[in-house]
Amino acid sequence: MNEQGSAQNLDAPTTVVESPDATSGISWRRVYECPSPDAFRTRHQARPEERGWIALDRTFADRVGSTPAFEPEIHPEIRAISLADATVFLLAATHTDPPGRIGHVAARTAARFSGHATVRMAGATLHAGEQVIERVVDRLMEVHRVLAPEAAPPEFEIAIPREGVGDSHALAAGVACVLALFGCRCRTSTAATGGYDAATGRFRPVPSATLGAKLAAAERWNMRRVMIVEGQTFDGITGVAPASAGDASRFWRGIELLELPADPAALPIRVVEEIADAPRVDALRQALGLYDRHVARNLTTTLEAVLEATAPFLPPRFDAEVARTCGGDAGADRRECLEESTEGSNEDECIDSILALMAADIRSRKHLHAGRSEEASAWYDIANRFRGLDDLPDGVLGDHLLYEQTAHRAVIAIDQGVLEDDGPVSGPHAVLGRRIADLDERWCTTNQSMQRIFLANTRARQRLYLARLELDVAGGEAALGDCLAHESRWASLLETYAEQRLRLGNTNLRRQENFWIEHLVTFAMLQDPRGFDRLAWRPDRGRLKILLEARLPWMERAPGDVSKHGAYDLLALVQWRWLADGPDPDLLRAAERRLLEIASATGSGEPPHPLPSIAGWLLRSDVDGVLDRPAIQRILIAAVNAHGVVPDASPDPRAGSIQRVLAHRSARILELEGVSDERGGAWSQRISTALRPDSLARYLHRIIEDPELMLARCPY
């Protein structure tokens, strides 16, 4: 703000003070040079004509809850200053007496569209402060535009007391940005301090040496909550109470120190839920939708983290219901759960049905991706109870709930061994078909056209695995037809729209090509299903020539840096080279190193899919014996050991998982490799055949009934 701002006439009883500049030339720089709000009265006494100090006193009494220095009867016509709703206070580690000062970052909805955030210095100059905010906002807009593609970056104002350098205003700017994008007001007495690493695109803690002065300033200005970045240290600061287990908060002299995530993608849900003052339900829905897209679906996000993040939107009784439903207990427990669900209907009336549906759906997806299809089905059933209780949200979020959930339900059915519906009308695959027909018959938005690809891929997967089970080439052709149905739109929808515009990390052209390779592999194995049981077997590439040439541009593409491949890209690469011309030894070794790195990073226990599958394909491809086969075999052994026979009356949580079916494939490959089991007997005998529900048990029986056909019939 400008030091030479003009004064308004304060004698009129209707005077509204809009800014410090409008009250005798008080600038934000002078405001934040004050050590605390107590100084406002002293400043006014020194210069009585500067009645703006009265307005400021009332402003901070409102925004930070400080004790007013001026009684209400003193110039009652002077009102509090109208600060932006999305105003977050920042903390500066100044070498002053007393140490530390505060400032603010304010964000407002942009008056007109701009490609980047506009930043105005309203106080002293913060060198490169604009660039820091621009980088933070660019990243947050990538996150936000997934559900709001037309959103514009907010306009920002930074006010600090004296010239400075640094980036510790980055977290405050990020919080203010989220608040402005969602139309929320910041809670009172809230400050933030945290930097930003442009190279990694993540927030970072501030040096602990600066934190003492910052906290001292926060205490003097009556800040009751200070946002910090996860991993913040407190070296040299006494009196910081340690955080309790599972709690993101610490306390220092009554001030809550709340850790926020370093990943900007995880910021919206935390800000809207914990920092916004009485957020609207539509803001919560959008924030939870962004959490789903950017965080929950990320392979590095743990199931426990997802359960914690979604807990505020679901009654806790559902956790107990799922635990009992998926515990393998008698049907009476299921009946008890349903009775309990009816009793909890009053509790359900207090929650938003769309939020509850979304939270349960997010949990369902995360369980499915963890191979826990039984729990995935249970959480989907809970989500389904909330369908239709409120209007479908508009836009991208509504498309997600209408179309992606349909695809999700069909994948759950596949993972429970239901590859065909019992009836032609109400089964998950029939519903999927109706959704596809609906989109085929309408003039679609860009997002709906992308959803059509997702739905077609899901039906392709169902048809593909049914074709494998039945050893049916015609079924495989029908599956390939679904996979390629919208190939002409792959580049525009998956590369331009999904990857470049919406920045969807798990939706891109490479992922679609990976899925296409799975169809090629199926056609190869169906040439000779029993021959495929021999790891040295190779398909007749002449019979695959047309299909291979159709993807020649992808075939000729350099594999890139294999050391940076994700698990699914690595699987597709090894499969493709096996199909096309066989991988060279150097590529095989690089793929082996990457597999072992990923496996090591996942820790002990059952290796997640698709690591055992990659291991099997590497062993199949290693015709020259250049790989460390025992190291690769250990991944398969771990997959088998995770599904050992459980003693009677003992809980068997993995009995509801498709991973148990896939473990039989790992066992078969170990047997073909000639790996001996120190316990004696076949590896397949180690694995329990107990599965839930009955459809999954029947599916496993079909797959393993003829050992020589098992590798060809197995899904995934």
Residue 413, pLDDT > 90, answer yes
Q: Give the tens place of pLDDT for each residue, 575-596.
A: 999 998 777 899 999 999 999 9
Contact indicator for 576, 519 with CB cutoff of 8 Å: no
Residue 126, pLDDT > 90, answer no
- Scan for tokens 């604009």, then name that residue: 130
Strand partners, 158: 105, 121
Contact indicator for 175, 227 with CB cutoff of 8 Å: yes
| Identity of the residue numbered 347 | E
Provide the pLDDT confidence category of residue 9 given band limits of 50, 70 and 90.
Answer: very low
Grouping H, G, I as helix, E, B as strand and the rest as coil, residue 281 is helix
Q: Give the tens place of pLDDT for each residue, 223-281.
A: 999 999 999 999 999 999 887 766 778 999 999 999 999 999 999 999 999 999 999 99
Provide the pLDDT confidence category of residue 82 given band limits of 50, 70 and 90.
Answer: confident
pLDDT of the residue at 635? 98
User: Among 105-119, 419-433, 517-531, which stretch is predicted with the lowest mean pLDDT?
Assistant: 105-119
pLDDT of the residue at 554? 63
- Separation CA 8–CA 207 (nearest Å): 43
CATH architecture of 83-282: 2-Layer Sandwich (3.30)
Q: Give the tens place of pLDDT for each residue, 479-508.
A: 999 999 999 999 999 999 888 887 776 788
Structure tokens at 209: 């040496």
Contact indicator for 588, 620 with CB cutoff of 8 Å: no
DSSP string for residues in 494-536: IIIIIIIIS--TT-SHHHHHHHHHHHHHHHHHHH-TTGGGSTT
Contact indicator for 235, 267 with CB cutoff of 8 Å: no
- Separation CA 575–CA 518 (nearest Å): 8
Provide the pLDDT confidence category of residue 2 given band limits of 50, 70 and 90.
Answer: very low
Strand partners, 241: 251
Higher pLDDT among residues 461 and 115, named by residue: 461
- Separation CA 408–CA 397 (nearest Å): 15
- Separation CA 25–CA 7 (nearest Å): 6
Long-range Cβ pairs for the range 322-327 (8 Å, 24+): 322/375, 322/378, 322/379, 322/382, 325/378, 326/374, 326/375, 326/378, 326/653, 326/656, 326/692, 327/651, 327/653
pTM, full prediction: 0.87
Structure tokens at 280: 């609207």
Grouping H, G, I as helix, E, B as strand and the rest as coil, residue 337 is helix
| Identity of the residue numbered 568 | Y
DSSP string for residues in 610-623: THHHHHHHHHHH-T
Contact indicator for 618, 585 with CB cutoff of 8 Å: no
Contact indicator for 342, 329 with CB cutoff of 8 Å: no
- Scan for tokens 């180690």, then name that residue: 686
- Separation CA 315–CA 350 (nearest Å): 10
Q: Which helix (H) or strand (E) covers residue 158, if one does?
A: strand 155-159
Q: Give the tens place of pLDDT for each residue, 592-645.
A: 999 999 999 988 889 999 999 999 999 999 999 999 999 999 999 999 999 998
First to last CA, the chain: 61
Residue 22, pLDDT > 70, answer no
Please name the residues in contact with 39: beta carbons below 8 A apart, sequence gap of 6 or more. Answer: none
Strand partners, 586: none
C-alpha closest to that of 210 among 166, 256, 170: 166
Residue 157, pLDDT > 90, answer yes
Domain with CATH 3.30.230.10 in the chain: 83-282
Residue 350, pLDDT > 80, answer no
Residue 75, pLDDT > 70, answer yes
- Scan for tokens 């519903």, then name that residue: 431
Helix count (H) and strand count (E) of the chain?
29, 11
Contact indicator for 136, 195 with CB cutoff of 8 Å: no
Whole-Å CA distances, 133 to 6, 29, 121, 166, 229: 30, 20, 12, 12, 16
Mean pLDDT of the residues in the chain: 89
Grouping H, G, I as helix, E, B as strand and the rest as coil, residue 241 is strand
pLDDT of the residue at 653? 84
Q: By CB neighbour count within 10 A (0-12 exposed, 13-18 middle, 19+ buried), where does 556 fall?
A: exposed
